[in-house]
Structure 1
Amino acid sequence: MARYRSYLRGLSICVTVLLMASGLVMIGVGFSSIDGNIPVAKLFEQLSSSDGLKLLQGFGPITVILSVLGVCAAALDLKTLLLVFSALIFVEFVALMVVASPLVQVQAQMDGAVDEVFLNVTPLYRTESYIQGELNKLQFSDSCCGLRSFEDWDNQLPVSCFCTPPAADQLLDSSCVMVESDLRTPPPLWVHSEPCGPILKSYLSFPIKLRIGIVSAVATLTMAAIALCLTLGLEQYWKKPPVETTVDDFNRVKYQPKPSLT
């Protein structure tokens, strides 16, 4: 029993330390500028997920503070403090689930909202020069053209959309397509057939998916910490009392709890 109890205490400390580490991760991600690294970020100002950042910024420090309390309670084997920690971390768990639920809704609604943004900024040659510049960078780096297709540029295709004409035996496997254009470059023109829209969606959804993943990890560790600390805190109710055996005059063995020293 003593060995099992020692193992349970060690496991409780480890889980609570992991919970503390996850709280530090929440703080780090919450105060980072992941959203600012999204290509063509100006397009997505209306889809900002600042609530997710506030969630991590708020619950991160709380998680760290409560985790320190839990580590101290488990290491010092303080029953009352273990129960207090379990109650406080359970309240935080419920609040975290309530506040984080809108993130899942944002993730589900994002594709439709992004498609609407794409529709509002086409044709691309009429949009702001800043957006055109950022999109050109993406088209150069990821070999794509336009948001939904190269036709988003109408007949004003930028140089970043052009690609090297494929060899005759590679036409079927090529990511380039031949188009007609009124540009000064003589036809035929070959442009990237892949749109940049799916790439932008993946960039945009990454911060939200990251925050949902962090919240899920914290929730899992919180549930484990609650279960372990409650087990230690309520040890007196589940621990079997020591017994002693006696033999009467008829050689019958009797088992009864040892008398308490107190």
Structure 2
Amino acid sequence: MARCRSYLRGLAICVTVLLLVSGVVMIGVGFSSIDGNVPVAVLFQQLSSSDGLLVLQVFGPITVLLSVLGICAASLDLKPLLLVFSALIFMEFVALMVVASPLVQVQTQLDAAVDEVFLNVTPLYREDSYIQTELNKLQISYSCCGLRSFEDWESRLPVSCSCTPPRLPASDPQQSARPGNSSSQESCVPVQHQLWVHAEPCGPVLKSYLSFPIKLRIGIISAVATITMAAIALCLALGLEEYWKTPPVETTVDDYNRVKYQPKPTLT
């Protein structure tokens, strides 16, 4: 039993240290500017970029302080302090779940909001030169054209949308008519004046950039919640040890050969 208790205590210390590290990560991510790395960020000024940041900025320091309290309680084996830590960290866990729950709804509504932005900024050739320059960089880097399709530029397609179609072998002129080879030209589509452009739009790329910060915050909060539940269970087990630990007993036989069981006296 003593060995099991020592393992439980060591595990509680490790989990509270891990909770401390998680709190530091929450602070670091909460005060960092991830959203500033979104390409063509000026297009998305109407979208909220602070979803989840306040949650991390507030609950990060609280988690760090409570983790220090839990580490001290588990290291010194102070049962009242372990119970206090368990109660406080449980309150933080409930508050974190209540405050962070709207993030899931934000994630589901993000695609619809971005699609609306894409619709409002087309045609793209009417946008500011800065936005067009950033879009051209994005189109060159990811071999895409437009936000929803190349038609977002209408008839004024930039050079960054140009695509070189794969050339078919001259020895087999009938190869282009074969169904199995139609996928080789899917990345390029022909438009007016013998011009080929990228068939893939750049919208999915921008959506992935925009959704990454929210997904990161949801992941961090989920990890902290899991570690918090483990810390609560371990610290409660240590704090309530006297209720689940079986006391040592001794047996005695009286004059009538009756066996009696009673706790052994402890030396204080």
Shared fold (TM-score greater than 0.5)? yes
Equivalent in the alignment of 1:206? 212
Letter in 1 for 2:130: Y
Taking the aligned partners of 1:16 and 1:45, their CA distance within structure 2 comes to: 39
Equivalent in the alignment of 1:144? 144
Taking the aligned partners of 1:34 and 1:167, their CA distance within structure 2 comes to: 42
- Identity percentage of aligned residues: 81
Taking the aligned partners of 1:69 and 1:13, their CA distance within structure 2 comes to: 11
- 1:253 Cα shift? 4.3
Unaligned runs of 5+ in 2: 169-174, 176-180
Taking the aligned partners of 2:182 and 2:230, their CA distance within structure 1 comes to: 56
Q: Superposed, which structure 2 residues align to 1:162-241 within 5 Å?
A: 162-168=162-168, 172-174=183-185, 175-180=187-192, 187-241=193-247
Unaligned runs of 5+ in 1: 181-186
- 1:130 Cα shift? 1.6
C-alpha change, 1:165 and 1:173, in structure 2 (3 Å) is: closer
Taking the aligned partners of 2:66 and 2:156, their CA distance within structure 1 comes to: 58
Taking the aligned partners of 1:30 and 1:140, their CA distance within structure 2 comes to: 32
Letter in 2 for 1:225: A
Query: Could you say what secondary structure the match of 2:146 adopts?
Result: coil
Taking the aligned partners of 1:133 and 1:33, their CA distance within structure 2 comes to: 23
- 1:49 Cα shift? 3.0
8 Å CA contact retained: 2:51, 2:214: no
Taking the aligned partners of 1:247 and 1:159, their CA distance within structure 2 comes to: 100
- 1:172 Cα shift? 2.8
Q: Superposed, which structure 2 residues align to 1:1-262 within 5 Å?
A: 1-168=1-168, 172-174=183-185, 175-180=187-192, 187-249=193-255, 253-261=259-267
Q: TM-score of the superposition, structure 2-length normalised?
A: 0.91
Taking the aligned partners of 1:51 and 1:62, their CA distance within structure 2 comes to: 19
Q: TM-score of the superposition, structure 1-length normalised?
A: 0.93
Taking the aligned partners of 1:260 and 1:165, their CA distance within structure 2 comes to: 88
Pairs aligned (count):
256
Query: Could you say what secondary structure the match of 1:47 adopts?
Result: coil
Taking the aligned partners of 1:92 and 1:190, their CA distance within structure 2 comes to: 57
- 1:252 Cα shift? 5.3
- 1:258 Cα shift? 1.2
Taking the aligned partners of 2:83 and 2:19, their CA distance within structure 1 comes to: 17
